Chain A
């Protein structure tokens, strides 16, 4: 069953020097609970496409639908996790997570507190509940952002290179953790990256984009080749190795042709 549907979505920015087409007609149907990774060279239009899902940009033509209804302004159904400024520095870790429910009238104060603590536990930050974001590591800050979006009860998580600023080891650790969290609490995820390895490890499906304007170069079904369960061993498997080089070739082919 399709959950999130891109229906011939395009985006053209107007600039002083004329129109800049950034996204060419894009079609995709994402199933509920699926992790789709947008992979492509820097500046190709991945962020723009994701921001349109979040309601932070409007498609020039076409439409994005969630559960059948056309998406408009931002709301709680689509939660964002940014690469930087992903948490509010003036709130503690727990308050940051609770902020995800701040505008929810359907939960009482006690319920909100319990949920905040629950999701802090899910991302393994219980002991840092009272810390401020600048006193924890960058990786922990991203986990705070993930917990906040989960607590908000978003149907779709939009993650724009959330691990891009972390060192390789932390990044791998968080990728494993993200898959683990989602195995317990299935969410539809659109995850943007330009890191081939990250795409191969996290995705159920990878959309490989061309350089700007973004066009679908390839749609790769990862779960069909690696299975749904991923852990540290996945990276050592032959299937993973082949998948990674295949994605790498696709990305290189579009990065080079000029």
Chain B
């Protein structure tokens, strides 16, 4: 099975390294003010310093917990509702227009409303993240269900499966690989929303760290915070991809 290393092509590493070198050179040459563009070596040192002797890891943990709480709530609701919408026409037709509308509401625009409703506590962040993922995911799930070849359901029916059993025994496993991918992508979106939520209404989390650093123009800290998010995102994505191969061995020839 291909590990993380095998999936990153050599050319990609070379290009990334060249870009970092160019950035380092530009920052050190004095062409760009360090306030705007500190060299990557400084950003990296800042990142390490924030992680070891300050509370960056705590804030990263807070953000991660928010992302996963909201995401799991959204997923646990979206999967069954989406399956119902995809398999029963009436459920699909009645819910789809509303969900489609809500899905287009931009999450940042909901921040004031969320604060009015929930104050600035945890509920606000969870609510915003849930808003951003549930409505997207539920439609993706419904579509995944509709894309399951009808032959599978018909096979189950001719083998004596009641409809509800067929949904659990056939529709769900048939759509699981795509569902997994859709959840992986949606989880990524959660990270954008959590930062938005933490910037406007939080005293913890990576969004809060970045925003605090900006107030004092600590550009290396701002960048270090952004890079921390990138690292968490990349790691999560790679782990979920690796699990995909593990969970669905039948897809590989």
Name A's B-contacting residues (CB within 8 A).
54-56, 73-76, 78-80, 82, 84-86, 88-90, 99-100, 102-104, 132-135, 148, 152, 154, 158
Contact = CB atoms under 8 A, between A and B. Distances in A.
Contact of B158 (A55, A85, A90): A55
Interface of B: 149, 151-152, 154-155, 157-162, 165, 169-170, 173-174, 176, 248-251, 253
Contact of B161 (A56, A78, A102, A135): A102
A76 B157 CA distance: 8
A85 B152 contact: yes
B151 A54 contact: no
A135 B253 contact: yes
Contacts of A80: 154-155, 158
Given A85-B151, A90-B176, A132-B249, A102 B157 contact: no
Contacts of B161: 102-103
Contacts, number: 69
Nearest to A99: B159
A100 B170 CA distance: 13
A78 B158 CA distance: 6
A82 B155 contact: yes
A132 B158 contact: no
Contacts of B160: 75-76, 103-104, 152
Main secondary structure of the interface of A (DSSP, over half): loop
A75 B160 CA distance: 5
B173 A88 contact: yes
B141 to A, nearest CB: 18
B174 A134 contact: no
Contact of A56 (B157, B159, B176): B157
Contacts of A104: 160
Contacts of A152: 159-160
Contacts of A132: 249-250
A90 B174 contact: yes
Contact of B169 (A55, A102, A148): A102
B159 A100 contact: yes
Nearest to B172: A90
Instruction: From A75, A79, A90, A102, name the one whose CB has the most chain B CB atoms within 10 angstroms.
Output: A90
